[in-house]
Structure 1
Amino acid sequence: MFHDITLKELLKKQHSENHTIIDVRSPKEYNETTIPGSINIPVFTDEERAEVGTLYKQVGKKEAKERGLEIMSAKLPEFIAKFRQIDTPKTVFCWRGGMRSKTAATLVDLMGIDVNRLQGGVRAYRQWVVAELEKAEFPPDLVVLNGNTGTGKTKLLHQLADKGYPVIDLEGMAAHRGSIFGHIGLEPNIQKEFESQLIQVMHKFRNAPFVLMEGESKRIGKVTMPEFLFHKKEQSIQLFINLPMEQRIRNILDDYQPWNEPDKFIEAFDRIKKRIHTPIAKQINDDLKRGNYHHVIQLLLAYYYDPRYEHMAGKYPQDKTKALDAANMGDAAIQIESKLLEMYPREVKSV
């Protein structure tokens, strides 16, 4: 017989052993929000879930269960085979620890595969996330990478994370680059998914002496940073990265690759062109249509992003800001590590 476990027990297992957690909800539910680190082995596809749900509402519970059993029976060998491929301890969950996770756990248990079921499902995890965020606690110092658009802050954070530095990648968790064009080529996350990922990282680094993050606005795409974290970020050390204009343009082109989805860039520009002097806005629009993206970026930086950044940068106290004038991305990375070594000599030497 499968075992029911609490969320507290699951979190302990995740930290102490190589444990696989399996979301048996539909792909659409899984893609909207799940427990970070889980994989998706759905009991029903999106279409099957809709069909069973409609039967439940319009006909009755008995008929819905019978149809669900019929659907599940047809794909049982494939379903079981996916569980057999996992050679670690396993826990399944659904929305609230109901029929889907019970069905999945029962079936795999009958086939001789050990499995746990999470009590309360994703809902229990969501309640835990909300409670943790309401504590408004994150002890480590924050070191914020700031700078004009195109200075490669996210790329630098990734490089530092690869070297073992503690990093919170807010844009990665939001699945949005933080600009008016930031959603293009991505599928932005909803608030629940963002918070789920954020609390996991905060717990991971809660005993670190410092954590690196980017100088984001409070709102990033579809999500909003918790007020306490945003306030702490604003009061923390800001490392302002300065790069030559040409390097910044190359960074943006490498990151966004506007030639892959030109229509979406034109559509996004339409939302801000009223904020730019009319002749310049017309030139940008013409360049977008011609595919002259290098000039588009140059004009956007000079007439839209840089003026906004200069206004924002002036709000930080001088004793909290440190300028890093770099010739290129490699130079910027070296200077950041040097500054961290200066501020946290013992901790950085152990990284």
Structure 2
Amino acid sequence: MLRANSNDYRHLFANDVPMIDTRAPIEFTQGAFPNSVNLPLMTDDERAAVGTCYKQQGPEAAVKLGHKLVNGNIKAERVALWKTFCEANPEGYLYCFRGGMRSQITQQWLKEAGIDYPFVIGGYKALRRFLIDTIDDVATQPMTIVGGNTGSGKTILINELKNGIDLEGAAHHRGSSFGRFVTQQRTQINFENELAIQMVKKQDQNIRHFVYEDESNHIGSAKLPLSLSRTMPGADIAVIDDPFEIRLARLIDEYVVNMQRDFVAHYGEELGWINFAEYLKKGMFNIRKRLGMQRYQSLADAQQYAVKVMQDSGSLDHHRDWLVPLLEQYYDPMYTYQLSKKAERIIFRGNYQQVKEWLESR
């Protein structure tokens, strides 16, 4: 039985329904959804040619050109890819930019190939609008902010809470100078899409009070949505006060052990070590002016020596030589100062477990 074309955007995102994105690759690269796969009706060049024809000669000539460009073996190859996806994902949908011509053509060609497959009414534009509206709606809901010095495990805690919203996970960046991952940070559009989908899934569990990590307005190159950046500064704060050594151990694990492993897994042994060393070097370089050049050079030298020892012997001990002073002389004083300006909003302090239990009891 043919399923109806859908405008139940909440269902599509809350349930990770697979979707075919029939837009051109350049459109997909600029912004897409994690549950979608790009199987375009037209390539970038074909789309550009049809768009030019539309402007110069009108819609009828543009459609005619489109059918001329996507015909014969080219059409058969694209239909075959759609068909494979549809057979693997019978519960899925397809969409184009507005749910118009490209969706209807794709749907028709699939029907001619023996498959009835529904499309998303309104297409990408309507899906994107729904996600933006979701962020704006959730931003008005009650919220609590988790604060704490670098290494307090704030992001870990957010992901352990049923009502936690992981801003850094959505941005694919940890916010600090050393915050990048091996793979590229998400575009602004994809950051917002990922964030909104998290929110949709929480709403689907009837969650109406949300917990966020204390962030600046930028997480790497990603900018917080305006609705959140306006409301977060007024929210209550729970602060994690964990001992220095526990925080240091977390940082060594996250920024040294895990990152070295990920670089090697991504690039191979030799290039992985080179890129790992470069990642740490660049993280320190980014804050050289705030550190002062003399202190920067001392810490940078200690950092690169620690990488060499780690590569030669596997020992992590020398990473303390740059991480300890970096925390004591830079990150801790900076965050303590920032938190002092929010003192009237702090309503709970405790170690990691105490903050977690307090947040879960609210």
Fold similarity call, TM over 0.5? yes
Q: Amino acid of the residue matched to residue 158 of structure 1?
A: N
Q: Does residue 193 of structure 1 match 2:190?
A: yes
Mapped to 2, the partners of 1:213 and 1:185 lie a distance apart of 24
Determine the structure 1 residue equivalent to 2:143. Answer: 142
Mapped to 2, the partners of 1:14 and 1:136 lie a distance apart of 18
RMSD: 3.1
Determine the structure 2 residue equivalent to 1:339. Answer: 358
1:322–1:264 CA distance, 2 compared to 1 (3 A): same
Mapped to 1, the partners of 2:39 and 2:191 lie a distance apart of 22
Contact in 1 for aligned 2:23/2:38 (Cα 8 Å): yes
Instruction: Return 62-71 or 175-184, whichever deviates more.
Output: 62-71
Contact in 2 for aligned 1:142/1:213 (Cα 8 Å): yes
Contact in 2 for aligned 1:93/1:117 (Cα 8 Å): yes
1:146 is paired with a residue whose SS is strand
Unaligned runs of 5+ in 1: 326-331, 345-351
Determine the structure 1 residue equivalent to 2:19. Answer: 21
Determine the structure 1 residue equivalent to 2:107. Answer: 105
Show CA shifts across 1:224-277 (max 9, x none). Answer: 223342343222221111222232222123222354421132123222111113
Match of 2:297 among 282, 286, 305: 282
Q: Amino acid of the residue matched to residue 42 of structure 1?
A: L
Unaligned runs of 5+ in 2: 54-60, 264-275, 308-317
After the TM superposition, list the runs of 4 or more consecutive aligned residues in structure 1 that deviate by more than 6 angstroms: 1-4, 15-18, 57-60
Alignment of 1:107-186 (within 5 A): 107-131=109-133, 138-139=140-141, 141-160=142-161, 165-186=162-183
1:255–1:100 CA distance, 2 compared to 1 (3 A): farther
Whichever structure has more helix as a proportion of its residues is 2
Determine the structure 2 residue equivalent to 1:299. Answer: 325
Count of residues in correspondence between the two structures: 324
With normalisation by structure 1, the TM-score equals 0.79
Mapped to 2, the partners of 1:255 and 1:197 lie a distance apart of 22
Determine the structure 2 residue equivalent to 1:308. Answer: 334
Q: Amino acid of the residue matched to residue 221 of structure 2?
A: K
Show CA shifts across 1:163-193 (max 9, x none). Answer: xx21111111111111112123132222222
Mapped to 2, the partners of 1:92 and 1:215 lie a distance apart of 38
Determine the structure 1 residue equivalent to 2:315. Answer: none
Show CA shifts across 1:30-77 (max 9, x none). Answer: 354224x52204136xxx723324544788945554232342323533
1:18–1:113 CA distance, 2 compared to 1 (3 A): farther
With normalisation by structure 2, the TM-score equals 0.77
1:117–1:12 CA distance, 2 compared to 1 (3 A): same
Mapped to 2, the partners of 1:324 and 1:293 lie a distance apart of 28
1:186 is paired with a residue whose SS is coil
